[in-house]
Structure 1
Amino acid sequence: MRHFAFLAPLTAAIALAGAAAAQPSSVSVTVSPDFAKTAAELGQRDVQQQVDDLTATVTRVLTERNALDVARIELVITDLKPNRPTMQQVTDKPGLDMMRSLSIGGAAIEGSVTTASGEVHPVKYDYYSSTLAEVRGSTTWQDASTAFDRLARNLAEGRYVKR
């Protein structure tokens, strides 16, 4: 009987904790129609990979920080610039070297956050290296990844528009 007396409050506490657990936000990412024209030059596979990366990054950061619970986040990639040539670019321009060609990269994202209370907040964020000296990574999408990570952290902190 004593075992049951101990288990009842424990079971109630676990049930309450489960009910209070945050439900993940809904994150959807698309590419703007204007950028879709340029996206073909980068390669559909690479662009889709960046859409998936932005979705995963925002979802991961918001989940880790328990931020924007039950919010609907709709993001639109309006620009992507790789730090190194994509496979499609190398195919289209054989003079490019995937290892030695380096450029300023980054991304621009717009969209909206609809909170659980129904409030709609516009989202606008961009990040680009300003010089080649700032290009620290050696991956094709290093600066775009930095933009995605910084946007996700800003969303988690309630900053939706980069000023």
Structure 2
Amino acid sequence: MRAALVSTVSALLLLGAAQSALAAPAVSEVKVSIGPKLAEKADDLGQRDLDILSSELQRAVERRLPPRPGGGTLELVIEEAKPNHPTPQQLGNTPGLSYQSFGVGGARISGRYVDPTGKSTPIAYAWWETDIRWARYGSTWHDAEDAFDRLADRLVKDQFSDKR
């Protein structure tokens, strides 16, 4: 009986230590921008869609890491993004292109987290869908939004890079 109690207490202590090691960084501000290579594609993708991507990334991160006083700053840059369906701009630019066209998408994000003391930690993350079977059912930027959600989940766990 005593051994079971000791092992249970030990497990709880280890779990608590693991959770504090994976504590979310304190964030007071999230800044999102579009990288230069992606910005060059504004005429093809549409500036409106790039603005939507920026706001979706900010929303995904702030939903999981709500800004609070005394935290650091997350500076995120959407370097690359690929839609699942043609954007309205692409449909307008290309006669005969259909919204029913689909493909796999995703996004690559870089940036840095600057903590309240000024220490900077680089951020690098990319996620690209590999299975086309579900692509037809999602929104224009479904896979890119999945990449944003996955990045936000990693940031909550204090994982700033997808490098192993």
Deviates more, 1:82-91 or 1:37-46: 37-46
Amino acid at match of 1:85: P
2:3 paired with 1:36: no
Residue 60 of structure 1 is aligned with which of 38, 42, 63? 63
* Equivalent pair of 1:25/1:59 in contact (CA under 8 Å): no
Unaligned runs of 5+ in 2: 1-25
CA RMSD of aligned residues (A): 2.1
* Identical residues among aligned pairs (%): 36
Q: Which amino acid aligns with 1:34?
A: K
Name the structure 2 match of 1:7: none
Deviation at 1:56, TM superposition (A): 1.3
Count residues with an aligned counterpart. 138
TM-score (norm 2): 0.77
Q: Distance in 2 between matches of 1:123 and 1:136?
A: 31
Residue range with higher mean Cα deviation, 125-134 or 150-159: 125-134
TM-score (norm 1): 0.78
1:45 alignment counterpart = 48
Q: Write out aligned runs for 1:10-159 (5 A).
A: 25-63=28-66, 70-98=71-99, 100-133=100-133, 135=135, 137-159=137-159
- The question of whether the paired residues in 1 share the 8 Å contact of 2:102 and 2:136 is answered with no
Q: Secondary structure at the match of 2:102?
A: coil
Structure 1 contact 29–77 (Cα < 8 Å) conserved? yes
**How many angstroms does 1:59 deviate by?**
1.0
Q: Return the index of the structure with the highest Cα Rg.
A: 1
Consecutive aligned runs of 4 or more in structure 1 exceeding 6 Å deviation: none
